[in-house]
Structure 1
């Protein structure tokens, strides 16, 4: 009987930890991703608390990741194909090869 009780407590603890870890990863990044086109002094697009895949506008020249998590730049607007990671607080310049980003 004692072994069952210990096993039940361990199983419940493991499930609780897995639930906490799983829910933390599902949260959207906090902040925004700013997108500029060539010769634009202000962002042409702001993605507030982005989640999932977002297509970049035609002519995107600069992307700034002003969120608290890394985003991934992809060659297609549907976020397929190999991507490069853009760390929080960093930007990327000269982006004609990228069509979307995943947050």
Structure 2
């Protein structure tokens, strides 16, 4: 017989396990409880990580390591990119098109929602 600490509702009143079947049931319940706790912890940490991301509906442009990010909140229509733009991240729920000119007139590169793209310095503009 094995002597184990009392867990409410898991072990018999005399706090002893009489055979292998009871031991297997005890271990199965413990394993399920641990997996459920680990899953809850993982889900909580995953939702906390998304809270620090850019707000939905933003286009974020990285220029250089020496300059802050340029954030376009809910962009509408043609937006001129900074001349030293390097990477564009589409955090909107619709496609964004990057153009080679500052007036959104030339054929452009389409960036899907949730994706990003390198942009050539002096690319010009984007539209959302």
TM-score norm. by structure 1 comes to 0.64
Change (3 A) 1:102 1:82: same
2:127: which partner in 1?
102
Correspondence for 1:76 among 79, 101, 111: 101
Correspondence for 1:67 among 89, 92, 109: 92
The structure 1 segments of at least 4 consecutive aligned residues displaced by more than 6 Å after TM superposition are: none
Q: Name the larger-Rg structure.
A: 2
1:35: which partner in 2?
61
RMSD: 1.7
User: 2:63, 2:84 within 8 Å by CA — same for their partners in 1?
Assistant: yes
* Shift of residue 96, structure 1, vs aligned partner: 2.1
Q: Deviations over 1:20-49 (max 9, x none)?
A: xxxxxxxxxx61000111224741x11111
The structure showing larger relative contact order (alpha-carbon pairs under 8 Å, at least 6 residues apart) is 1
Of Structure 1 and Structure 2, the greater strand share is in: 1
Change (3 A) 1:94 1:83: closer
Change (3 A) 1:39 1:94: farther
Change (3 A) 1:46 1:91: same
